[in-house]
Structure 1
């Protein structure tokens, strides 16, 4: 996914919390790496480390297109679940990007859109 860093919120030794713009909206996440500057664009991979529980931080969505937003330090995502394995590993598609999440199997025909809220997200550069 291509993003642009809008604002560096907090620098750390491992990276920075950044506000970013994507084709799907504006989000807030931890960007792993150094030499970050505002207004830079990057190809990134989104990592989501939360465990998801239906009805708590993930639910079926009425929407049919991906979106990204944030409230406080939690990333809100509408995306499409395209696979759920028996070990609860699920493939989540946000536009053309795929990320893996952990969520209990849902007895629902694939693919389907979900709304989720995640507090443990990281951005990693790709194509470097």
Structure 2
């Protein structure tokens, strides 16, 4: 589940959005190595799980995840040792912001 900023779109509208995962991630708690190798998003009981490929950034306070052609930046509580590979991210705080592109 996600909160959408702005006007509610009509059913079947296609929107370009920025995804904001409004949470600080901690290895082993809400970000872990994934057995999956395909980007995916699933929602169950109000919890969103995103499987994406980890791209280690130079900033120790954040890292990037590649989800298909998109990049998600997440904030970390401490640097993580993993540099690449697929991860599962668990969150309850997803916000979508239309880019108006």
TM-score normalised by the shorter chain: which range applies? 0.7 to 0.9
**What CA RMSD, in Å, does the superposition of the two structures yield over aligned residues?**
1.6
Given the alignment of the two structures, is residue 91 of structure 1 paired with residue 36 of structure 2, yes or no? no
Residue of structure 2 in register with 1:45 after alignment: 18
Q: Which has the larger radius of gyration?
A: 1
Question: Could you tell me how far 1:44 is from its partner in structure 2?
Answer: 1.4
Given the alignment of the two structures, is residue 36 of structure 1 paired with residue 9 of structure 2, yes or no? yes
Listed as ranges, the gaps of 5+ residues in structure 2 are none
In 2, Cα distance between equivalents of 1:113 and 1:105: 17
Summarize the alignment of residues 1-128 of structure 1 with structure 2, pairs less than 5 Å apart.
28-103=1-76, 104-108=78-82, 110-128=83-101
* C-alpha distance after superposition, 1:62-83 (max 9, x if no partner): 1111000111222110001112
What TM-score does the superposition give when structure 2 sets the normalisation length? 0.86
1:106/1:35 CA distance change after superposition, 3 Å: closer
The structure with the largest strand share of the pair is 1
- Would you say the 8 A contact 1:74–1:119 is kept in 2? yes
In 1, Cα distance between equivalents of 2:11 and 2:46: 19
Q: How many equivalent pairs are there?
A: 100
What TM-score does the superposition give when structure 1 sets the normalisation length? 0.70
Question: Could you tell me how far 1:53 is from its partner in structure 2?
Answer: 1.2
* C-alpha distance after superposition, 1:60-104 (max 9, x if no partner): 111111000111222110001112334321111111111110123
